[in-house]
A and B are shown apart, each in its own frame.
Chain A
Amino acid sequence: MFEHFFTIEQLRKRCLNKTRSGPLADYLSEPFASPDNKLNQIEFLALDLEATGLDFQRDEILSVGFTVVRNMSVILAESDYFLVRPKQAIPENTAIIHHIFDDASSKGLELEHALLKILKALQGRVLLAHHANIECGFLNRACQQVFGSGIMFPLVDTFTIEFKSLKRRGVTPYNQGMRLASLREDYNLPRYPAHNALSDAIATAELFLAQIAHRSGLDEMKLKDVMSRC
């Protein structure tokens, strides 16, 4: 793709130029972590969100959970979890998955307020998610709605890390085995109850630590070795 010819810093500046002043522009005006930095010098924001469905053009964010990875340790003290108030009623078929119902949800944050919290936490950090196109899509769409233009961030996707290494070894990944819970099992990580945004964010962070620990030379590994494009 066209964008691959640019560095992430160039992309950030292009994105900033298209953004009107406000919280999003403030966020974009800070430089991103350099892809040449070693992983243990980088801070990650492991983030997961639950939504009314999987279509980020139509569905809405319901809850957000995140935690911080610093010096390759998960810092639980810096985790957060909050509900976001959707405009439409929550469809029953998704409520049974994430257990967020209209009652609780109506006490959630306004989308704008939620985004401000996320932007603040993301500043200077790298977004870490499993199968990140959901998170990317929803965050981007929400920023367009609230701030009038989309967002950018450096990204590490644990799904992609696994996918690439399987491909390198000539293994064809299959869908079931690439789920967060199955990958965690492969790395001898404990089972967590799924579908809570914070526990999924922590689960993703742990998976990332495990993936890196199993790929030799943690000391030499750089952000660019594991970075994905949004």
Chain B
Amino acid sequence: MDIELIEIREFLAAHHPFNQLPDAELDKLPSALELSYIRRDTLIFSPDMDPHYLYIIRSGAVEVSDKHGLLLSRRGEGDTFGARSVLRGRTRFNVRAIEDTLVYKLPRFKFKQLCDHYEYFAYFYHADGAARLQDAVQQQTTSRGDHDVGLMTLQIKDFLSRKCVMSSPDISISAAAKKMTEEMASAILICDHEKLAGIVTDRDMRSRCLATEMDSKAPVSSIMTVNPYTINQEDYAYAALLLMSRRNIHHLPVMHQGKVMGVISASDLIQRQSASPIFLVGDIYKQTTIAQLAETSTRIPQVLVTLIDADATAHSIGHMISILGETITTRLLQLAEEKFGPAPVEYCWLSFGSLARLEQTAQSDQDNGLLLSNNYDPQQHGEYFEKLAQFVSDGMNACGYDYCPGNVMATNTSWRQSLSGWKHHFDNWINKPEPKALMHASIFFDMRCLYGKSELLHELQQYVLALSKANRIFLAYLAGNALHHTPPLGFFRRFVLVNDGEHNNTLDLKHSGLVPIIDLARIYALASGINAVNTQSRLELVGGLGEVSTQGAADLKHALELVSMIRLRHQARMIKAGGKPDNFLLPDELSNFERNHLKDAFEIVRTMQAAIGQRYQAGRF
């Protein structure tokens, strides 16, 4: 009997995780369902009940809260609830309709059957979000040829950006030439009824038309290369390069399942190579003026996109982009020393924040300082370092690293200090902590020497760690600050659901995603006397040292990688669209995969925040 429940089947097929079920199973599923209508404000179940169903929301919305009434999540169309209750055999939460709601109810035995048969389905509802997240992050990273973003790993389709220029065989040579000029294309594909017939390049125009004095009114097919060599869009870029050099040609039509997708030229391949970070580092060192450096640094966004397309990990992308910032700083300091002469005393150029942590993605504000040897005498040397700082800061600004709005720059005398001056700063922050001052000071605890005498920084760091490790009150203040930024509860429809039940339109990937993890890692590191500043390295080193369990640190590391990767993809999309990358993501941009794993990541961060809050009694400060 063919029951026509197609509409319900289509609804299920459009929603996760039902869309993972095989067709035959989806066909049978609607007739297993029961349907109920729940009026707004009706309690659907409460803790400690015997669960009978997995609920699938067809229309309307529900709110999940714990037994104390604390909001846990909101669910809308296509979301499910009650799964964990069925798997545990007991309900744990309150679920209340907050709108008039129509639900499909999947009976318990049928839901369990699906979980037994389809591993993915069971996995989706598995209680251990941390394990799920770990798998997801590993799955994303295993297929990567880390660091290698050359022609070996990129596919032809990664190069197909502009639309391809095509014409029919019967237009004239001059019309074809006109079209190529208008579209600024060095080749035109000749297609006969959507089938590729030939190709005409700039070189063919010269050697087959102009050089032979052929009438330019003749059909373009008379000078085309018939049945040219082609390449598949799934092929790797190096294969195209090999074919081109073997046949001494510069253009290849790109095909996909017999259809023309575009054309790729030798210069497309070479240009892409130049977007490799190694290439760019070399170029930065060749520049001799700020204007040239500024011009060169406009290539950074493209490098970012290339790295993301090549599936590098967020960790290594942060590293490479930060190295570019470091190289520009170094080059500016070299130029400054050429201009103003060698430094009168030893110094160390410090960077703070993301550049120090090797976590830069898009260029951001500059945060820097000068750490000078104790031989520094403001009377004697002050002017030199003021000019040096001004030169570098202006140069950074010209290169896209905007002036720091909080004035954390070497141009500010507070942050241009001798070693003892800096020790005095840290003394104040650590031994006489004030919440407000400390909030602004936290970036100083992530510092790195970009240029100059790194021993100076090393000495300062040892001093800071010895102070901070011993000072519980200071750590408690830091912990209190770290709880200011909390991850959201999750998503509700096209919104981000935050703790107080409010909806935000966008997810702030920086402040509600990365900052809480970075803050936690910083406290663990300072409390454990670890001098690493990169967040991932901190998390790898602190596990099991007493501040956080090995598992807890590993979970946070996975959360960091996931959130970072989602931020990078978001920024790559913005760059590709010609915009300036930012941190504000619309929930609609997320795939099901990302949405689900982000929720797991948020939960991990919330758990770790709660733990540190308790450990340091953060509420008391």
Interface residues of A (CB under 8 A from B): 65, 72-77, 79-81, 187-190, 192-193, 196, 198-199, 202, 205-206, 209-210, 213-214
CB distance from A126 to the nearest CB of B (A): 18
Judge whether A189 and B59 touch: CB under 8 Å: yes
Complex Cα distance, B105 from A189, in Å, reads 16
Q: A73-B34, A210-B37 are in contact. List 11 more A-B contacts (CB 8 A).
A: A74-B35, A77-B33, A188-B100, A189-B59, A190-B102, A193-B7, A202-B35, A206-B37, A209-B36, A213-B42, A214-B100
Can you give 27 A-B contacts (C-beta < 8 A)?
A: A73-B35, A73-B36, A74-B34, A74-B36, A76-B8, A76-B30, A76-B31, A76-B32, A76-B34, A77-B31, A77-B32, A77-B34, A80-B1, A81-B3, A188-B59, A188-B101, A189-B37, A190-B102, A192-B7, A198-B5, A199-B4, A205-B35, A210-B37, A210-B39, A213-B100, A214-B39, A214-B100
Question: If A76-B35, A202-B35 touch, does A190 touch B4 (CB 8 Å cutoff)?
Answer: no
A-contacting residues, B1-40, CB 8 Å: 1-5, 7-8, 30-39
Per-residue CB proximity of B54-65 to A under 8 Å, as 1/0?
000011100000
Judge whether B7 and A76 touch: CB under 8 Å: no
CB of B99 closer than 8 Å to a CB of A: yes
Name, among A75, A76, A187, A209, the residue most crowded by chain B CB atoms within 10 Å (CB to CB): A76
Complex Cα distance, B3 from A42, in Å, reads 24
Question: If A187-B100, A188-B59, A189-B59 touch, does A72 touch B7 (CB 8 Å cutoff)?
Answer: no
Complex Cα distance, B1 from A187, in Å, reads 32
Judge whether A209 and B37 touch: CB under 8 Å: yes
Complex Cα distance, B39 from A190, in Å, reads 15
Per-residue CB proximity of B99-134 to A under 8 Å, as 1/0?
111100100000000000000000000000000000
Complex Cα distance, B39 from A213, in Å, reads 6
Task: List residues of chain B with CB within 8 A of the CB of A202.
Answer: 35
How many chain B residues sit at the interface, stated as a range, is: 20 to 34
CB distance from A158 to the nearest CB of B (A): 12
Q: Which A residue's beta carbon lies closest to that of B11?
A: A190
Judge whether A190 and B5 touch: CB under 8 Å: no
CB distance from B9 to the nearest CB of A (A): 11
Judge whether A79 and B31 touch: CB under 8 Å: yes
Task: List residues of chain A with CB within 8 A of the CB of B2.
Answer: 81
Complex Cα distance, B2 from A193, in Å, reads 18
Question: If A76-B5, A80-B1, A210-B100 touch, does A190 touch B58 (CB 8 Å cutoff)?
Answer: yes
Complex Cα distance, B78 from A190, in Å, reads 12
CB distance from A230 to the nearest CB of B (A): 26
Q: Which B residue's beta carbon lies closest to that of A68?
A: B34
Task: List residues of chain B with CB within 8 A of the CB of A80.
Answer: 1, 3
CB distance from B99 to the nearest CB of A (A): 6
Task: List residues of chain B with CB within 8 A of the CB of A65.
Answer: 4
Complex Cα distance, B4 from A199, in Å, reads 8
Per-residue CB proximity of B302-318 to A under 8 Å, as 1/0?
00000000000000000
CB distance from A209 to the nearest CB of B (A): 4
Q: Which B residue's beta carbon lies closest to that of A203?
A: B7
Q: Which A residue's beta carbon lies closest to that of B5?
A: A76
Complex Cα distance, B30 from A199, in Å, reads 12
Complex Cα distance, B2 from A196, in Å, reads 14
Question: If A190-B58, A206-B102 touch, does A76 touch B33 (CB 8 Å cutoff)?
Answer: yes
CB distance from A210 to the nearest CB of B (A): 5
Complex Cα distance, B32 from A72, in Å, reads 16
Q: Which A residue's beta carbon lies closest to that of B34?
A: A73
Q: Which B residue's beta carbon lies closest to that of A210?
A: B37
Task: List residues of chain A with CB within 8 A of the CB of B3.
Answer: 79-81, 198
Task: List residues of chain A with CB within 8 A of the CB of B4.
Answer: 65, 81, 196, 198-199
Task: List residues of chain B with CB within 8 A of the CB of A72.
Answer: 36
Task: List residues of chain B with CB within 8 A of the CB of A193.
Answer: 7
Complex Cα distance, B60 from A196, in Å, reads 24
A-contacting residues, B82-104, CB 8 Å: 99-102
Complex Cα distance, B102 from A72, in Å, reads 12
Complex Cα distance, B104 from A73, in Å, reads 10
CB distance from A189 to the nearest CB of B (A): 6
Complex Cα distance, B35 from A177, in Å, reads 24
Judge whether B34 and A75 touch: CB under 8 Å: yes
Judge whether B105 and A73 touch: CB under 8 Å: yes
Complex Cα distance, B35 from A202, in Å, reads 9
Judge whether A213 and B35 touch: CB under 8 Å: no
CB distance from B308 to the nearest CB of A (A): 38
User: Nearest 9 pairs between A and B by C-beta?
Assistant: A74-B35, A209-B37, A213-B39, A188-B100, A190-B59, A73-B34, A210-B37, A76-B33, A73-B36
CB distance from A86 to the nearest CB of B (A): 19
Complex Cα distance, B97 from A214, in Å, reads 13
Task: List residues of chain A with CB within 8 A of the CB of B105.
Answer: 73
Q: Which B residue's beta carbon lies closest to that of A208?
A: B37
Judge whether B38 and A213 touch: CB under 8 Å: yes
Judge whether A206 and B7 touch: CB under 8 Å: no
Task: List residues of chain A with CB within 8 A of the CB of B42.
Answer: 213
Complex Cα distance, B39 from A73, in Å, reads 13
Complex Cα distance, B34 from A72, in Å, reads 10
Judge whether B5 and A206 touch: CB under 8 Å: no
Complex Cα distance, B2 from A80, in Å, reads 9
Task: List residues of chain B with CB within 8 A of the CB of A214.
Answer: 39, 100
Complex Cα distance, B145 from A30, in Å, reads 75
Q: Which A residue's beta carbon lies closest to that of B37?
A: A209
Complex Cα distance, B7 from A189, in Å, reads 14
Q: Which B residue's beta carbon lies closest to that of A192?
A: B7
Q: Which of A76, A188, A198 contacts B99 (CB 8 A)?
A: A188
Complex Cα distance, B4 from A80, in Å, reads 8
Complex Cα distance, B36 from A205, in Å, reads 10
Q: Which B residue's beta carbon lies closest to that of A79?
A: B3
Q: Which B residue's beta carbon lies closest to that of A196?
A: B4
CB distance from A38 to the nearest CB of B (A): 17
Complex Cα distance, B3 from A7, in Å, reads 37
CB distance from B505 to the nearest CB of A (A): 23
Complex Cα distance, B105 from A76, in Å, reads 10
Complex Cα distance, B8 from A190, in Å, reads 11
Judge whether A199 and B99 touch: CB under 8 Å: no
Q: Which A residue's beta carbon lies closest to that of B59?
A: A190
Task: List residues of chain B with CB within 8 A of the CB of A198.
Answer: 3-5
Question: If A72-B36, A76-B5, A209-B37 touch, does A189 touch B102 (CB 8 Å cutoff)?
Answer: yes
Complex Cα distance, B43 from A199, in Å, reads 28
CB distance from B351 to the nearest CB of A (A): 55
Task: List residues of chain B with CB within 8 A of the CB of A205.
Answer: 35
CB distance from A146 to the nearest CB of B (A): 22
